[in-house]
């Protein structure tokens, strides 16, 4: 083949536009898919974060409506809080309910009255009675009783999660889990304190 023939074929190839749409499609589709999945993941993350906050406020609200309470009732309330996360089910929340007394002394102490927690779906006692804890300075008022609810979740993005807990995608090291949490303080509504004899 002569040089002129090669040049003519090269010119025809450069002018041929029949495959342009397919090439553009091949370049654009991965970008569009990545944007779609990232947008979906961002919206799920925001919604789950709102639900984690809702757990804390709802559990605190239910506990502070009681004058006395039992460990079984606390466990049931925490289970209600856990169900708030549905349909998200890739990890379980940690919920800690702590009744706090600020003593009526010249230098008040902040002490645990009783505590109950749910970790990994299992219920158990929380912080020891009479142990020292902390509250925000504006809540450290002598002779007051508070209920603190802490809700925490290690959110697992769907792009790194699999049903058998095996990490299959390259994103897993960068997005292993996202820590979400909220802490609520409420005062009892129907009595000065809330007792839990068996806690």
Task: Compute the radius of gyration of the chain from its Cα atoms.
Answer: 28
Q: What is the pLDDT of residue 174?
A: 53
Above pLDDT 90, what percent of the chain?
A: 59
Neighbouring-strand partners of residue 116: 97, 125
Token representation of residue 181: 């949490």
Q: What is the pLDDT of residue 148?
A: 97
Share the mean pLDDT of the chain. Answer: 87
Residues written for the chain: 199
C-alpha to C-alpha distance for 122 and 92, rounded to whole angstroms? 10
For residue 199, count CB atoms less than 10 angstroms from its CB and return exposed for 0-12, middle for 13-18, buried for 19 or more.
middle
Residue ranges per structural domain of the chain = 18-186
- The pLDDT tens digits of the residues spanning 126-185 come to 999 999 999 999 999 999 999 999 999 999 887 776 656 555 554 545 567 889 999 999
User: Phi and psi at residue 173, in whole multiples of 5°?
Assistant: -70, -35
Q: What is the pTM of this model?
A: 0.79
Give the residue among 46, 40, 74 at the shortest CA–CA distance from 60. Answer: 74
- The pLDDT tens digits of the residues spanning 9-36 come to 777 767 767 767 777 888 898 999 989 9
């Amino acid at each position: 083949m002569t040089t002129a023939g090669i040049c003519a074929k090269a010119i025809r190839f450069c002018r041929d536009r029949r495959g342009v749409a397919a090439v553009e499609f091949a370049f654009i589709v991965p970008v569009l898919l990545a944007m779609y999945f990232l947008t979906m993941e961002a919206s799920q993350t925001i919604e789950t974060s709102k639900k984690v906050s809702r757990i804390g406020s709802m559990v605190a609200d239910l506990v502070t409506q009681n004058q006395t309470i039992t460990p079984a009732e606390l466990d049931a309330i925490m289970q209600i809080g856990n169900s708030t996360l549905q349909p998200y089910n890739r990890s379980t929340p940690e919920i800690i309910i702590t009744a706090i007394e600020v003593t009526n002394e010249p230098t008040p102490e902040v002490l645990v009255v009783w505590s109950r927690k749910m970790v990994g779906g299992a219920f158990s006692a929380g912080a020891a009675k009479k142990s020292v804890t902390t509250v925000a300075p504006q809540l450290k008022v002598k002779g007051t009783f508070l209920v603190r609810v802490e809700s925490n979740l290690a959110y697992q993005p769907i792009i790194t999660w699999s049903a058998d807990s095996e990490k299959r995608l390259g994103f897993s090291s960068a997005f292993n889990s996202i820590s979400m949490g909220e802490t609520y303080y409420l005062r009892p509504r129907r009595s000065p304190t809330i007792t839990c004899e068996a806690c």
